[in-house]
């Protein structure tokens, strides 16, 4: 294994000089920079990130914290997009990524989690889809021991940033489009998980729309479950004009119920998962580009870890119309 020592010898300089060049320190002459870089090239030197982490106490090791919902497996797709978006971007930026699931920290205290992450030399965390009920994570953020980026949770402090699309406006827009297209007045809105941040935001959106368009709005909580959305639809859809759902999965549940009831109502989803294409009908939905959100989160974390201040970052979205043929081509 070729180490920094070999590079130094090869370039005819001291070890520390090599380190400085590698880490882009000032006060190194162009001439020595060139020599060092050439030696790096010739020896195919790749810095040992583990040693660097140990030495500097400030590694580029980052943790992904994902909420893998084992009950509704169908949303795997979103988690997968998050993972690949983050990992690809992190690779590009020279960060290494460790993936964790909420379930791993379930019965642990903040102190235990902190110690564990410290033992792993992890200094930055990206948390996806935290809700108000994730008490330990809330404390972890409050403790500010780590640099944190939250995806889909609107909290931030000096060590914590938040990255998300404007859920409120997105819900407003996609519902409006659907309602205008169908000239509906009586809306059944199937909301997500109580105490979920995104659920709240989307609720705000639909309520504002109801006010603006003077709609009759019936709200039920479907907990992001296809089955619950299905049951809600059976019970409440008959004398409603349109069904607006806070997720695609629930929209599928609603559609299925409608088909069994043998009545037609326009349905509107949220997320833009490809699974939609397998549900057999088409509907409006919000396309979120989860991989892109995740990549943005990595960038934001990198910014934080280099001394940036926590902040809010709002990303874009598009209204999509999804159907079978979009998928298989």
Judged by the rule CB under 8 A, the positions of this chain that interact with its own copies are 1, 44, 46-51, 53-54, 59, 68, 73-74, 76-77, 79-81, 83-84, 87-88, 91, 96-101, 103-104, 111-112, 115-116, 118-121, 226-227, 230, 252-253, 256, 274-275, 278-280, 324, 327-329
Shortest separation between residue 95's beta carbon and its own copies, angstroms: 11
Shortest separation between residue 91's beta carbon and its own copies, angstroms: 6
The verdict on 20 binding DNA (CB under 7 A) reads yes
Shortest separation between residue 10's beta carbon and DNA, angstroms: 12
Nearest CA-CA partner of 296 in 165, 186, 181, 192: 165
The verdict on 24 binding DNA (CB under 7 A) reads no
Of its own copies, DNA, none, which one does residue 109 interact with (CB within 5 to 8 Å by kind)? none
Of DNA, its own copies, none, which one does residue 32 interact with (CB within 5 to 8 Å by kind)? DNA
In the set 10, 17, 40, 246, which binds DNA (CB under 7 A)?
17
Shortest separation between residue 88's beta carbon and DNA, angstroms: 23
The verdict on 112 binding DNA (CB under 7 A) reads no
The verdict on 27 binding DNA (CB under 7 A) reads yes
Stretch that binds DNA, among 29-37, 151-159, 256-264, 289-297 (CB under 7 A): 29-37
Burial label, 220 (beta-carbon count in 10 A; 0-12, 13-18, 19+): middle
Of DNA, its own copies, none, which one does residue 213 interact with (CB within 5 to 8 Å by kind)? none
In the set 10, 19, 196, 310, which binds DNA (CB under 7 A)?
19
Cβ-based nearer residue to its own copies, 105 or 156? 105
**Residues 254 and 269: beta-carbon distance below 8 Å:** no
In the set 24, 26, 183, 214, which binds DNA (CB under 7 A)?
26
Rounded Cα–Cα distance for residues 64 and 303 (Å):
16
Q: Which of positions 32-91 make contact with DNA (CB under 7 A)?
A: 32, 45, 47-48, 51-52, 54-58
Nearest CA-CA partner of 213 in 241, 186, 233: 186
Of DNA, its own copies, none, which one does residue 325 interact with (CB within 5 to 8 Å by kind)? none
The binding track of 121-150 with respect to DNA, each residue x by CB under 7 A or -, is ------------------------------
Cβ-based nearer residue to DNA, 22 or 218? 22
């Amino acid at each position: 294994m070729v180490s920094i020592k070999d590079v130094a010898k090869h370039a005819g300089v001291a070890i520390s000089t090599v380190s400085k060049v590698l880490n882009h320190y000032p006060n190194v002459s162009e001439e020595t920079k060139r020599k060092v870089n050439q030696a790096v090239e010739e020896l195919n030197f790749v810095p040992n990130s583990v040693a660097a982490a140990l030495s500097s106490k400030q590694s580029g090791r980052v943790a992904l914290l994902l909420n893998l919902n084992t009950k509704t497996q169908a949303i795997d797709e979103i988690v997968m997009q998050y993972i690949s978006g983050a990992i690809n971007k992190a690779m590009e930026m020279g960060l290494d990524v460790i993936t964790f699931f909420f379930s791993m920290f379930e019965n642990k205290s903040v102190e235990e989690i902190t110690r564990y992450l410290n033992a792993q030399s992890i200094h930055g965390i990206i948390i996806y889809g935290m809700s108000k009920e994730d008490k330990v994570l809330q404390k972890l953020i409050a403790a500010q021991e780590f640099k944190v980026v939250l995806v889909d949770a609107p909290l931030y402090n000096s060590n914590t940033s938040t990255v998300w699309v404007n859920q409120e406006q997105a819900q407003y827009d996609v519902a409006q489009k659907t309602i205008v297209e169908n000239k509906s007045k009586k809306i059944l809105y199937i909301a997500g998980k109580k105490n979920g941040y995104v659920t709240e935001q989307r609720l705000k959106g639909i309520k504002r729309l109801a006010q603006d368009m003077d709609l009759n709005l019936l709200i039920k909580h479907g907990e992001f479950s296809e089955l619950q959305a299905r049951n809600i639809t059976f019970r409440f859809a008959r004398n409603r004009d349109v069904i607006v759902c806070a997720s695609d999965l629930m929209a599928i549940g609603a559609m299925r119920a409608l088909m069994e009831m043998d009545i037609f109502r326009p349905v509107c989803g949220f997320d833009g998962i490809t699974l939609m294409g397998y549900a057999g009908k088409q509907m409006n939905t919000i396309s979120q580009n989860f991989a892109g959100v995740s990549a943005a989160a990595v960038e934001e974390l990198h910014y934080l870890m280099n001394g940036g201040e926590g902040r809010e970052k709002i990303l874009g979205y598009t209204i999509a119309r999804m159907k079978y043929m979009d998928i298989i081509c």
